[in-house]
Amino acid sequence: MSGKPIGATVAAFALLVALTSLELVVVGLEMDRAARITTLAGLLIAKIGLVIVFLMSARQNRRSARLTLTAIVFAAGVAVVLMLETVFRVNVT
């Protein structure tokens, strides 16, 4: 590997598996559609952050990683707002 301890990689993989399992649990829950979408988007952001920080060695190039995370969080936030607006419009009409 690239000088990274194997324990950190295994821990990151285990966290990805846990977050994916949470996504499957959320899909099966009886909850409002908007809440489900928001929760799934939050879990997606957490998974993306985990991959960038632990698996892509973002600690070595902090400025690039920070800009990437900012862009991803912004894009996910916009997507969630648009999805919630669509749900609101469908329920109003």
Domain assignment present for 1: no
| pLDDT, average across residues 81-90 | 78
pTM: 0.64
Give residue 21's pLDDT.
Answer: 95
Give residue 76's pLDDT.
Answer: 79
Give how many domains the chain has, as a whole number: 1
Q: What is the pLDDT of residues 40-57, one digit of tens each?
A: 888 888 888 788 777 676
Using alpha carbons, select from 75, 80, 68 the residue that is nearest to residue 41: 80
Domain that holds residue 85: 6-92
Give residue 59's pLDDT.
Answer: 62
Domain assignment present for 20: yes
